[in-house]
Amino acid sequence: MEYVYGALLLHAAGKEIDEDKLKKLLSEAGVSPDEARLKALVSSLKEVNIEDVIKNASVAAVAAAPAKTESAPKKEEPKAEEKQEANDEDAMAGLSSLFG
């Protein structure tokens, strides 16, 4: 993750993202950079417009945030056993979405 953060920091500073600058930045931050990871990241970012990615990511984050709704009047609480079953079903639905 620190490699990506370093690349974003260089981008924010208006610097070109290359292996030497990223290696220097990571070294100064106390990270021992791996040459293969540096090369892989820099080469994968060559054709990427970082501004567009950041813009699209922020739009996706806003779209994913749940909208606030007015709270409806409270209904009578279901029994504890019914709550447990609902929680178990919700947990299973969440797991199935992770594993397809």
Give the whole-angstrom CA distance, residue 93 versus residue 78: 20
User: Does some domain include residue 20?
Assistant: yes
Q: At what angle do helices 50-64 and 2-12 cross, to 10 degrees?
A: 110
pLDDT tens string 57-100: 877 777 776 666 555 566 665 555 555 666 666 666 655 555 54
Query: Could you tell me the residue range of the domain that residue 8 belongs to?
Result: 1-64
Count: domains in the chain: 1
Residue carrying the six token digits 């992770």: 98
Do the domain assignments include residue 80?
no
Chain segment 28-61, per-residue pLDDT in tens:
999 999 999 999 999 999 988 998 888 888 777 7
DSSP class of residue 13? T
Q: CATH code at 54?
A: 1.10.10.1410
